[in-house]
Amino acid sequence: VFEVEITPNGVQAGLSRGGHRLAFIAGSDNHCSQPGATGGLAAVYAPSLTREEVWKGLYHRVTYATSGARILLNFEINGHRMGEEFTAQSSPHLEAKVIGTAPIERLEVVKGWGGARIPLPAVHTEEPLTDVCQLDWKDSSFTRDSFYYIRVTQMDGERAWSSPIWVNHP
């Protein structure tokens, strides 16, 4: 889970190729297909815990990944949830709420676009050092179609990644 973001065939590379609308989830197997080798968890926002609603959440990319800790993460831009795509007339307003299982060392906003070089940079970082934190930030450098996601690192090393939100520039 930790290395997948920066490999040439990883998630960041796929997102940066443009046109790909990927969601983030994690699993408990490793790259050798050994179930239970890691502790990754997939989180899906669904109005109820029915099979149909969970599949809808997966289909609409309203998901996030953790390295195994039961971190709660909600991420929106201008009221649009993880996995969505929309057009913004002005600077996107990013909001996130994280409830950690340990103090949160870093909350990072990662930004990319089609053709961006990897690794993608964190364009905004907060270091709350508390179990609960909220992000309220506007991207004043919004000049092209972009995608954003949240990366959380706890002091105990556990992590979480939101699925991206794609924001088109008019």
Phi, psi of 52 (to 5 degrees): -60, -45
**CA separation for the pair 14, 112 (Å, rounded):** 11
Output the pLDDT for position 33.
Answer: 66
Question: Bridge partners of 80?
Answer: 77
Beta-carbon contacts of 14 under 8 Å, excluding residues fewer than 6 positions away, are 20, 22
Find all residues with CB under 8 Å of 166, minimum gap 6, and list them: 21, 84, 85, 86, 145, 146, 147
Q: Which helix (H) or strand (E) holds 12?
A: helix 11-16
Q: What is the pTM of this model?
A: 0.90
Place of tokens 């089609």: 114
The pLDDT value recorded for residue 36 is 66
Tens digit of each residue's pLDDT, the chain (170 residues) = 444 445 667 888 888 888 788 888 888 766 666 666 678 899 999 999 999 999 999 999 999 999 999 999 999 999 999 999 999 999 999 999 999 999 999 999 999 998 888 889 899 999 999 999 999 999 999 999 999 999 999 999 999 999 999 999 99
pLDDT of 20 reads: 80
> Whole-angstrom Cα distance, residue 90 to residue 36?
45
